[in-house]
Each structure stands twice: as structure tokens, then as C-alpha cells.
A and B are shown apart, each in its own frame.
Chain A
Amino acid sequence: MKPFQYATASSADGALELCGKNDQFLAGGTDILGEVKEFVSNPGRLVNIKNLPGTREIVETDTGWKLGANVTIAEIAAHEGLRRALPGLTQAAAKVGSPQIRNMGTLAGNLAQHSRCWYYRHRDVQCLKNGGARCYARESENKYHSIFSGNPCISPVVSNMAVILAALEASVNIRRGKQTFDIKMAEFYMVAWFNPYAHNSLKPADLILEVNIPVKTRSCVYLQVSEKSDFDWALVSCAAAGDLDGNALKNVRVALGAISPMVQEVEDANSFLEGKELDRRTASMAANIILEEAEPLEHNGYKVPMARALIRRALFKLAGINLERETS
């Protein structure tokens, strides 16, 4: 790593004052320290925001849940109230990294984490995302990359939390300069869809304060497939949230991760599902709508059938059915 300054903020105002254009915030450090050590990121200053007041709380509000930016992934995974109210959130948190990473990593950090593309993270490769001329993955080793992208970079969003929070229609509360505003989870990665240099829609020195989930309780599920059983990134992740009225689907939202620079949500699929009876055919058709425009590359075509399976399973899981164990 290159030398950098280190400062600790005790308020949001102070954090913004300390964080210049070439500086970065530091919370759990599980993402930024890796980048700094590999010379992928060379901040002038790291501003410690771990102690910002009010950012470490999980609160049930009148209308839903408020999760502070510095709540750790382990705290979410272990929260009994969340487990009962929003089980998919617990499932997504439990699948993040390793126990060490869950203990250190924060919710805001999980959402704002940078690309895990092995070219982007490589100290001896300068890829498009890192200011170079080409997306190496597009032409070469793209097994772990996107099957959708609106720009030449095919680095996918890999945040587990983003996928379930999108399905739950959560919003992120952000401080930018003197302004505080909310951004829908669905839009949180929008800029990365068309801008190869972006990891998400945040601007430099944007400070996440909290995440708000607009429901107190909802049937929801998070599934992922990885190569290993533990401590591995999702090849594809999928969340679904919604209600079941008898066997009819209501307000169902499906979201996928690791297949696009943004969380993959298709409104047509959600509206297709509205009011439908849950059966295999309906689930498969929803999957078709979501994956219709996929453009797999040489090594990531497997993500299409894998995503299709997860969408079907997630929908059935909302009804408490483990589809993969059913005999057809």
C-alpha cells in the first residue's frame, strides 16, 4: 500500500469535512483495505466513520425497519426480530463472506463495496474499470462476470444485502454535502449499469447513513449458488419477497445479483406474477422474462440456467416449498 492519512470522525458533518475528493471512508475495512494493499485504490486519507452516532442500531419503526450504516453483517444475521420478520435478510447476511468478514463488515460497506472482478483487483493489470483501455474479462476470463451490462465493463454487483433489500423495496439514506436524501435500492447501482468506472451510484464523499425497509414483516427469501459451501462469492444470487393470498402471488418482487452491474430486477416479471397461481409454469415464465435479454459470454453461459433455477426455487420458497426436493 501507499502511505495515506488517517482521521476519525465523530459526526456526519465532521466526516464530510474530513473527506475530500481523493479520500475514502473507512468502516469495517474488509473492502477498502484489500484495495489499498493491492494498490488498486490509493486514497489520500481514510476517514474512520465507525463511531458516527446512531449508525449502529437496528430499529423497528412504525412502518418498517431502520438499519444503521455501521450495523455489522453479523449483527443482522443474529438479530432475532429480523429473523422472524424478514427471514430473507437473515439468510442473505449469513451467506456473506466468513465469520471474520461478517463481524467486521458493515451494511453500508456491503452495499458500497467495489467490484470483485479479478482484473479490476489485480495489481499488475489495468482494466477499463481501473482507468485502462479494455475490459479484459469481456474477451478473456469471464466465468464470474455479468450476463447483462449496459456498458463495456461486465463486473457484476456482488452485494448479497443489495439483492434482498431490492426485493424488499428498501431505500438508502445518503448524505451528500449538506443534503440528505433517499435513493431506492433499485437505483443504487444504476450508474454502474452505463458507466464502466462506477461501482454504484454514489459520488465521491457520499456518506450512507441508514437503510430503510418499508415493511415490518414480509415473506421473503434469499438463495445463492457458490462453488464452495461457505466463504465464497455467489455465482448467482436471487431474492424474492411478497405475499401469498391462498396460492395467489401478491406484490411479489424478484431480484438477482452477480449477473449484472446492477441488481437485476424486471418490472414486467413482477407484474406478470401479480395475482397468478404459483405453479412451475408461472415460475418458469417469470424466469424467462427476467433472463430474456441475457447476453452470456464464453465462460458464463451457465449463469442463465442457474439463475432460472434460483428464480423458480425462490418463488416456491415463498410458499414454504423446497422445489429442488419435490418430485415432479
Chain B
Amino acid sequence: MPSWPTEPVYIGKSTQRVDGPEKVTGEARYSSDIHNEGWIYGMILRSQWPNAKIHSIDLSAARNVPGIKAAIKVRDDEFVAHYYGQELAAVAGTSKQACIDALLLIKVDATDIAFVVSEETAINPDSSRVFPDFPNIGEPKVRENGEVDKAFAQSAVTVEGLYATQIQMHHCLETHGNTAHQQGDNLTVWASTQGVFSVRDGLASNLELPQNKVRVISDYMGGGFGSKFGPGVEGVLVSRLTQKTGLPVKLMLPRYDEAKAVGNRPSSFQKIRMGADADGKIIAFELNSFGTSGFTSGPSTAGGGGRAGFPSPYLYNIPNTRVRQAGVAVNTGSSRAFRAPGHPQASFGMESIMDEMAARLNMDPLDFRLKNDTHDSLPAEIRRKEWKIAAESFGWKEKYNPPGSSKGTIKKGIGLAGGTWGGGGRGTQAECQINSDGSVELRCGTQDLGTGTRTLMAIIAAEIFGLKPGQITARLGDTLFPPSGGSGGSTTAASVSPAIYDICHNALKELGEVSGMEDPTGNQWFAACRKIGIQPLIVQGRWQEGLSSRGVGGVQMAEVEVDTETGFIKLNKVLCVQDCGLVVNKLATESQANGGVIMGVGYALYEERIMDSLSGVVLNPNFENYKLPGAQDMPEIEIILMEMPERGVIGIGEPVTIPTAAAIANAVANAIGARVPTLPITPDKVLAALGKVPNKPADSLAGNWGDFDQKLNWSQYSPTQEEGGGH
């Protein structure tokens, strides 16, 4: 069985990124920096209608604009454009302005169709339909354990709540897009992607090309968060434009388009009931929920395009549970996987009602967690330690006061929440080339999302070869390299690290044979390599069992100050306690945790896509009104990594963003003694929750959907067996 070094030099320590200098000096070449000779711009025309029959698209005037080299339609037949921003056509031209002028001249013959963009409206039977043959919301998926009704009847305390989470946008700082160049039979695409192989295969099948004629490169990319796995319509269009013109075409989406069509986190509307016995043990739980993942949500596609379901009941051990969940279709762009899909929604609803129950039981929320976080699973076992570590470091017991007991105009509060994630990962192959001058090149068809994968590869090779990370050249993001999977699900580190381990040990064996040295590492390295000769050593390897693991738990605590006259929330501190097995690069791991918390802060307090029910458009397709947290909004972030090297490598990208919003929401509720039941928690909602907004009573804050389960008669549906809870 392979095993990681027990007294490592680099593994588990902090190593600066090997590609840091390139990134900060602008040397690093992203997809939008690829300017092959003769390159031209590509641009997409999108539907300005929220729902419309597209009869025909006339490109002739666009083609006549000086500088325009090609204009194409997405489809030739009549079709329905189901949402504001759906792709209709594309042009390629020698300047940005030529493309803009051309888009304005494309004539689209379309007929408006009634639309619905609000989930609350779409669930009503009399709502206009996204697909005429299907209701917007279908039968819920039902899971049931134990005897729920009986357990509620036996409960000493029962609480009920309505909670809702918004549509969050990925808004990667590098937008979606590619530079594509068809040369002869070969198509090369520089893609901003989380999966060079999935983009290659997607393009090959869409364009009916053999996979060996498509090469996808992603040297550097500026964030994906789940939204950049396939080629997307924009990838297919840019490829068709280069095929048509024979010129390299660069098509990066404008920020505006990012808000329309390239993914988002599904919304959730959660009606939760919880029952506990007098000792504070939860014995009954019921959740009825719906949400949207866009126009393909709902029964027309069996919830395709990213479902709006989420794990429930989340984390806590409850013997009697009933969960009913459905997706509802609306005329908006589809969801895509988004950093810990489903979990932040699950955490917000569950941890909110947990605190409501704790308050009713007059229990400290921490004690209430400890009493109920009792699943027989590794993440739960780890979390039971983490609650205590967090409480100790945060000073929970000293700081905790019952909800609403903080004095003065500006009230302080604290809150907590937990999370779990799978992670893991397998299947990566890689190769290593060792040259006679001792230089080392690693090649792996993974990609670096900005998480530091290149550095991770270099650290592991340096550790095993007895070199420094800076002496290793790690190459990735190219389908010419041995294959690896998409970078999603927090699987990259756990999938790549064992493969690098394997090739390096294979290489040492070969180098030992070539050099005749028993140990060619460290000081012996260059002497050993001189024996290699003209033909470099090329060694393959692959992921091995025993060096990585899956299944993590994490907890977070937050401290806020809420101005009860203005509703303004100042987030003072977030503590993140997270396990992640063997840490390869401490600096990058903490950086991931910082990023996860920051994204959770945005989810909690600022970010929300606003759809306008009157016009059907996205109202805030920009950073002016889609509010991302900035430097001034940042709390002190403290990270405690629960290192468990014996477990091997586990990813951390996703779990660290899960509990943040729920912990902040609970801190706000603890401060002001009233709950804002929907995200983001903005000043207007805080004032309403405090009963200070005359035309917005506190009990109207969740919205008008509370009786949906009765209206839709959900009690008629019986359980379908399926995995669902997250422990």
C-alpha cells in the first residue's frame, strides 16, 4: 500500500504558487490573451424576449457590415426562445465595434409568448406555462423514514418556518469564453474551463468531429465554480465561426451576458416543521420545498439542467423524517453546478429552524447541535470535535446571549452552522519527463481553476525527488496530456495528487536503474540525471488507492453587529473549522477557505439575481446592482484546519462555503431577536423583521407561498426510495 511521507519537507507546509509571478506580471496567458495572427472577434446575439417563438432570423444586413467575416444562426428552424438571453445567432468580425454594429442589424421575426419568471407565481395552476404541455411544477420526489405523524404528535415542542434562498450567480471574474482556431482538419480551442476533456468531447460531438481532431487548452483560467464544464453554446458557436472563416476567433462573453445564460445556483423555498422531545432531542422533521433551476426545471425535463433539490434533513440525526421536493420551471437561464450544489440552501433552511427550535427549548444553539449531530458517520464524528474546537477558539460560551438580549441601538449577535461534503476523486493519469540536466516536467490533463493545482503537482514531485517546488515544471490544461477528470466536486487535489505520487515513484525506480544509484533523490539528483543520456526519461503513472479519501465535516461561527435603526449589518468575524485530510499546501488550502467564506458572505448579505416580472429581463446584469462583497465588507476570517494526514488528500473547495450564510443568518437573528427568513439579508429586510416597515409586516417577509403544499395537495404523494440526506 502506498503512503505519504511521514516527515515531509513541503507537504503540509506553505508554498507560494509556482505561477504567482506570471499571474501578477500579466505573463500568464488566459483564453482571452490568445492572439494568434489574424484573430478576429466573435459576439453573440441573445433573445431580448423572456419567451418568444422565433420564426426567422435575417443575417443579410449583418453580413454586409464592413469587417464582418461570418454570421451564423444557432438554429435554422422555427423554435421557442425560452428565456431572456437565450442564444440566437453569432457574428465574427475584425473589430468589436463591427460585431456590435452587426448584432444591431440582425432582424429577428418573433412572436411574444406569455412568460413567468417568478417561482412563487409559476407554481400556481393558473400561471402561464414555460412548456405548454406540462405544468411548471410536477410531482415532488418524496423520501420518508419512520413514523413522522406519530412523532410530531409525541413532540413536546414543534416549530415551523418558511425559508427561502435566492438565485446566486457564478460571476467568475474571467467570463465564459474561448479562442478557437480551425487549421486544416484540426480545431484548437483555448477554453476557460474546468474540464479540458469534457469541452473536447462536447465540441467533437456537437460539431461531428473525431475527438483526435480537437485539442483543448486551458493554461490559466479565472474561476469556474461549477459553471464551466462543457463547451456551452458559446463554445460551439465560436468553433463554428472559426470553421467558417478559417481565422482564429475570440469570443469571451461580456459581463452582461454572464447574468443571463451561463449558470446560477438554484433558488429554494423551504417549508420546514420540526418536533423535539423535552430533552432537546429532535424526533420529527418534515420539509416541503420547491425551487427553480431555470426553464428546464420542472416536469418537462424531469428536472434536468441541475435540479432544485438539496440534501434534507441536513446533518442532524432525526429518526422520523419526511421530505418532499420539486423543481419549478420559469423563463430564465438554467442553473449549473455551483460550489457545493444544494448544500448552502440545505444548510440555511436547516440551521435556521435549528436555532428557532433551540430558542423555543431555551437551549444554547451549540448544546442543541451537540445533542443532535449524532449520526454514525465519519463527517459527523469529525464535526462533533469541531464544534468543541470552534467554541473554544471563538469563545462561544462567553459570548452567547439569548436572542434579542443585546442592548442598545447597535446589537451584537453570534451564530453557528455546520456542513458536510463528499470530495474524493480518482482516475487521473499523468506523466513525468526527466531530462539529463536534471530538469523535471510533469504533464497532466487536469486544469488549475485558480486553486493552485500546478503548485500542488510541483510540491508532491519536489517532496518525492528531494528537490524544490520551483525546480519542477508542472504542465496541465491540455488534452494532449494524459487524462484527468473535470475539476469539480472538490475532487481535483484528491484525484491528481496520488497520480503525481505514482509517477514520481515510478520515475525514481527507473532513474535508479539508469543511474545505478540506490537513492537518486536530493543531493544525488543531478548526478543521477546525467546518466540519462539524450533521450529523456518519460514515465507514466496513475491514481492509486490509499492516498486520498472522501467525506468531510466543517463548522463555522459568525459574529455580527446589527444597526436596528438602519438595518445595516457589520460582519465582524467568521471562524471556519474544517477537516480536509492531508494538507498538501497549507497556504493554498487556507486561501480556499478564505474564498469559500467570502463567497458565503456574498450569499448571506449581498448577492441576488433580480428578475423583473413585468419585463422578464434580468434587472441587475452588472456589478453595480448585483452586489459582490468587497474588501471593506470582509470580516476577520479565522481558519482552523483539522489536519488528518492519515486520511490522505481530500478536497476543500466546496465544504468551506457551505455553513457561512447560515451562521451569519443565525448571528443576525441572535442579535435582533427576529429572523430574516430569506437570503440575502439586506437592511430593508432587517428593518421589516423588526416590524419597523409599515407596509411590510415581519410575517410577510418570507413571501406568499406558505400554503403551496396544501394547494398542490402534496400529501397524496408517497415515498420514492432515494438517497437524500447529508450527514
Contact = CB atoms under 8 A, between A and B. Distances in A.
Interface string A108-123: 0000000010110011
B438 interface: no
A273 B267 CA distance: 49
A301 interface: yes
Contact of A325 (B410, B629, B693, B696): B410
A17 interface: no
Contacts of A289: none
Nearest to B571: A229
A301 B696 contact: yes
B619 A119 contact: yes
B408 A225 contact: no
Contacts of B570: 229
B450 to A, nearest CB: 23
A116 B630 CA distance: 20
B689 to A, nearest CB: 11
A269 B567 CA distance: 25
B127 interface: no
Interface string B687-700: 11000111110000
Given A122-B617, A230-B631, A324-B565, A302 B688 contact: yes
A143 B688 CA distance: 13
Interface string B569-613: 010000000000000000000000000000000000110001011
B565 A302 contact: no
Interface string B628-650: 01111100000000000000000
The residue among B563, B566, B692 with the most chain A CB atoms within 10 A of its own CB is B566
B682 interface: yes
B705 interface: no
A169 B25 CA distance: 49
A62 interface: no
The residue among B97, B408, B629, B683 with the most chain A CB atoms within 10 A of its own CB is B683
Interface in B380-413: 407-410
Given A3-B97, A141-B610, A227-B627, A235 B695 contact: no
A123 B615 CA distance: 12
B100 interface: yes
Contacts of A125: 612, 615, 617
Contact of B613 (A140, A143, A233): A140
Given A124-B48, A125-B615, A228 B684 contact: no
A119 B674 CA distance: 33
Interface in B98-119: 100
Contact of B615 (A136, A227, A233, A326): A136
Nearest to B50: A124
B614 interface: yes
A309 B692 CA distance: 11
B540 interface: no
Contact of B687 (A143, A230, A305): A305
B15 interface: no
A232 interface: yes
Interface in A122-161: 122-125, 136, 139-141, 143-144
B625 interface: yes
Contacts of B567: 225, 302, 306
A179 interface: no
A231 B627 CA distance: 10
A7 B304 CA distance: 54
A230 B613 contact: no
Interface string B83-105: 01000000000000100100000
Contacts of B612: 119, 125, 136, 140-141
Contacts of B374: none
Given A122-B617, A301-B695, A302-B567, A228 B629 contact: yes
A81 interface: no
Contacts of B692: 302, 305
A71 interface: no
A227 B619 contact: no
B471 interface: no
A325 B564 CA distance: 12
Interface in A227-258: 227-233, 235
Contacts of B48: 124
B565 A305 contact: yes
Interface in A287-328: 296, 298-302, 304-306, 308-310, 313, 323-328
Contact of B614 (A116, A136, A225, A296): A136
Contact of A235 (B617, B630, B683, B694): B683
A100 to B, nearest CB: 12
Interface residues of B, number: 43
Contacts of A296: 694-695
B630 A118 contact: no
Contacts of B186: none
B684 A299 contact: yes
Given A232-B627, A302-B683, A305-B693, A225 B613 contact: no
Given A1-B100, A229-B630, A229-B632, A324 B407 contact: no
Given A136-B615, A230-B630, A301-B696, A118 B683 contact: no
B407 A327 contact: yes
Contacts of B696: 301-302
B410 A324 contact: yes
Contacts of A1: 97, 100
Nearest to B688: A302
B245 interface: no
B84 A124 contact: yes
Contacts of A298: 695
A228 B617 contact: no
A70 B460 CA distance: 57
A225 B566 contact: yes
B565 A309 contact: yes
Contacts of B605: 227
A298 B48 CA distance: 27
The residue among B97, B563, B570, B617 with the most chain A CB atoms within 10 A of its own CB is B617
B622 to A, nearest CB: 8
Nearest to A140: B614
B568 interface: yes
B124 interface: no
Contacts of A227: 605-606, 627, 682-683
A188 B95 CA distance: 41
Nearest to B570: A229
Interface string A206-230: 0000000000000000000101111
A301 B694 contact: yes
B633 A229 contact: yes
Contacts of A124: 48, 84, 615, 617
B620 interface: yes
Nearest to A313: B565
Contact of A304 (B606, B620, B694): B694
B506 to A, nearest CB: 52
Contact of B633 (A228, A300, A326): A228
B606 A228 contact: yes
A250 B393 CA distance: 52
Contacts of B407: 327
Contact of B630 (A3, A119, A231, A299): A231
The residue among A118, A143, A235, A310 with the most chain B CB atoms within 10 A of its own CB is A118
Contact of A228 (B613, B630, B688, B693): B630
Question: Top 4 nearest A-B pairs by Cβ distance?
Answer: A309-B565, A230-B632, A302-B684, A229-B632
17 contacts: A118-B610, A119-B615, A122-B615, A125-B617, A225-B567, A227-B683, A228-B606, A228-B627, A230-B632, A232-B627, A235-B683, A301-B688, A302-B683, A302-B684, A302-B687, A309-B565, A309-B566
Interface of B: 48, 84, 97, 100, 256, 407-410, 563, 565-568, 570, 605-606, 610, 612-615, 617, 619-620, 624-625, 627, 629-633, 682-684, 687-688, 692-696
Given A313-B565, A328-B409, 11 more contacts: A3-B97, A118-B620, A125-B617, A140-B614, A227-B605, A230-B632, A233-B624, A302-B692, A302-B693, A304-B694, A306-B687
